[in-house]
Amino acid sequence: MEKVPTRLNVAPVPPDEIFALNGAFFADTHPQKVSLGVGVYRTDDGKPWPLPAVEKAEKQLAEENDLMRHEYTAIEGDVPFLKIARDLMFGFEGKASEEPAKARIASVQTVAGTGANHLGALFLAHHMKPRNVWLSNPSWANHMTIWELAGVPRKTYPYYHAATRSFDFDGMMSTLENDAEEGDAVLLHACAHNPTGLDPNKEQWIAIADLCERKKLFPFFDSAYQGFASGSLEEDAWAVRYFFDNKPDMEMCVAQSFSKNMGLYGQRTGAFHYITNRSATSIRDVVVNNLCHLIRGEFSMGPRIGCTIVKKIMSSEELTADWHNDLQVMSSRIKSMREALYNELVRLKTPGTWEHIVEQNGMFSYTGLTPKQVYALKDKYHVYLLKSGRASISGLSQKNVAYVALAIDDVVRNVL
């Protein structure tokens, strides 16, 4: 048979590490296997946890049997949901005095946090044309892909100091000070930095905001863990709100996800907020219009079910209180697992220092393990984590933490 040449110019791309690792974990039949790869919350039994507040909301929605529940929404998304998402992110409480601040914010619904990041990158690439986007080194791997596809050149600023396993604030500030150019975008993790679990303190956030304002950089916040990281919605939004409240002449944007804090992983629920400066509020509706143009050509409108659940929870004082309790349950369990792993490693006298595990924040820990040690954990102990050494603390439990600590102790002692 004669071969017909293809018009495609394609080459294989590496598989996504997280999803490939998760697939390998599910195919593993070892009884003591442990997944520390994928970033999803698990109970102490290692099972998914539909939040009780979400389950109550779903039950109420089912009983209401709204005939419109499968209908289209607007291109910008569900407008009442967008107001809720905005108020949650920026701390609005419905006061009349807040209206001028709200007028700065153009909001649209997205396909979760990934969609918000992508839409924001595409919007800036079309309408602001930054020379570069600055990403932390390391950052969530998908940030690189998103900005690559948007066609914006990517540069990195130091973030992780490997020797001390700490946040490299001086390296970050020096690089942005010396090398970032006016109009460059700077990607900032609002809290629970992925993958390191290391966040700036409030004084450092203030200095970062001052630098962005002075050098006329554009802050792009990725907020994936509000309420999930610390248990406090206010604390986890502190950096975003500081920039918004204290730098009113600086434009910025926020990609917001409800995947982690409401457990709506598969519902793909998120929002993108573009914040104008206080003298340019007249363009807010034009910004929404242009965002809708991109949305219409890509996915037409955001998914309906997840945002309906968010609305149901946030419009009920009882369900909102339940949700706050759920956030405490999740954040407290993550913290307790950090302490348990640290205590086991100290008890075993595992070589090295491990304080960083309890000093880090949120779902992930940059353990400091080398790729060889990570591979040894998988091959010998069936413990799965990313080759960078990033571990999802949610995968730990009272049942497996001692086993994981023993495995780490062994590879640290015997695998260089």
Domain CATH code at residue 32: 3.90.1150.10
Beta-carbon contacts of residue 181 (< 8 Å; ≥ 6 apart) = 131, 132
Q: Which of 168, 184, 222, 236 is catalytic?
A: 222
What value does the CA radius of gyration of the chain take, rounded to a whole number of Å?
A: 22
Q: Which of 140, 147, 205, 354 is catalytic?
A: 140
Residue 57 belongs to a domain: no
Q: Do residues 262 and 350 both lie within one domain?
A: no
Q: Which of 49, 247, 260, 326 is catalytic?
A: 260
Residue 213 belongs to a domain: yes
**Domain count of the fold of the chain:** 2
pLDDT at position 1, please?
Answer: 65
Q: Do residues 213 and 303 both lie within one domain?
A: yes
pLDDT at position 135, please?
Answer: 98
Residue 337 belongs to a domain: yes
User: Which residue range forms the structural domain that includes residue 362?
Assistant: 17-50+331-414
Q: Do residues 44 and 91 both lie within one domain?
A: no
Domain CATH code at residue 181: 3.40.640.10
Q: Do residues 279 and 336 both lie within one domain?
A: no
Q: Do residues 154 and 101 both lie within one domain?
A: yes
pLDDT at position 8, please?
Answer: 87
Is 349 annotated as catalytic? no
Q: Do residues 298 and 401 both lie within one domain?
A: no
Is 205 annotated as catalytic? no
293-304 residue pLDDT tens = 999 999 999 999
pLDDT at position 231, please?
Answer: 94
Alpha-carbon dihedral 399, 404, 409, 413, rounded to 10 degrees: 150
147-192 residue pLDDT tens = 999 999 999 999 999 989 999 999 999 999 999 999 999 999 999 9
Q: Which residues of the chain fall below pLDDT 70? A: 1
Is 140 annotated as catalytic? yes
Query: What own/partner pairs with CB < 8 Å and gap ≥ 24 does 97-102 have?
Result: 100/278, 100/281, 101/244, 101/245
Q: Do residues 191 and 138 both lie within one domain?
A: yes
Q: Do residues 275 and 159 both lie within one domain?
A: yes
pLDDT at position 298, please?
Answer: 95
Domain ends where: 315, 348, 379? 315
Q: Do residues 125 and 171 both lie within one domain?
A: yes
Residue 126 belongs to a domain: yes
What is the spatial distance between Cα 202 and Cα 383, in angstroms, rounded to a whole number? 35
Q: Do residues 292 and 374 both lie within one domain?
A: no
